[in-house]
Amino acid sequence: MGVYEEMLNSLQSLWNRIKHGEKSKEDKGPTLGEIRDSMVAELNAVKKLLRKQSLLVEEIQAGLRQEPAKEPPDPLDDQLIRLAAAFFHLDQSVRGQAGFSPQRREAFDLFWLHMEELLATRNIQVIRETGGRFDSRLHQAILTHAPDARNPRVIEVLQPGFMESGKVKKPAKVILGPSEENEQEAWGESIQ
């Protein structure tokens, strides 16, 4: 018997089972009910597999929605901050000397300009200005000469502060004094 004859006999046998719903004597294959039960079991297995895959896809999507892990701080950033802090203290100590010439002052100002440009390339800003209003986000008051002042101002910076990408990394340590408005009010009261 050839392959085609066997296939033809198998198909004929299947047709007879479907038509009559019974097994032929020479056909020992599964019944229609058994085939149906087998297919239902396979479909249930496929459903379980699809549910597992769906849960896995949801986990992956949830992981992608989360914020990316923060990169460790760059050691170069910390070195630049330490360099800027050291230069700040050198600048403060030298500017207080009597023989500090305008040329030296200009050299220090030029160095600060270059230092701040370099820090800006790394999204770092130095907080070292005096004369402005006290901001508790940017400054840490170490001493105040005007405890009752409404809007105290920074009269001296003891240690510079640093901001990185718009966030305060380290607040500047400052000494506070009265604002110009408070000084004018106090002066006006002393005249009267």
pLDDT digits (tens, 9 = 90+) for 8-43: 666 677 677 676 665 555 556 677 777 788 888 888
pLDDT tens for residues 65-77? 776 667 777 888 9
pLDDT at 156 (0 to 100): 94
pTM of the model: 0.57
CA atoms within 13 A on the CB side of 139: 23
Q: For the chain, which ranges sit under pLDDT 50? A: 187
How far apart (Å, rounded) are the C-alpha atoms in residues 37 and 80? 73
Q: What pLDDT sits at residue 1? A: 54
CA distances from 115 to 18, 105, 140, 162 (A): 89, 15, 23, 13
Cβ–Cβ < 8 Å for 150, 182: yes
- The type of residue at 46 is V
DSSP character for 28?
Answer: -
Q: Rounded distance, CA 93 to CA 106, Å?
A: 16
Phi, psi (rounded to 5 degrees) for 141: -75, 120
Looking at residue 4, its pLDDT comes to 56
Whose tokens are 């002042």? That residue is 149
Q: Output the pLDDT for position 189.
A: 54
Summarize the chain as % helix, strand, coil (round to 5). 55, 15, 30
Question: Contact 153/131 with Cβ under 8 angstroms?
Answer: yes
Closest CA to 156 of 128, 125, 185, 124: 128
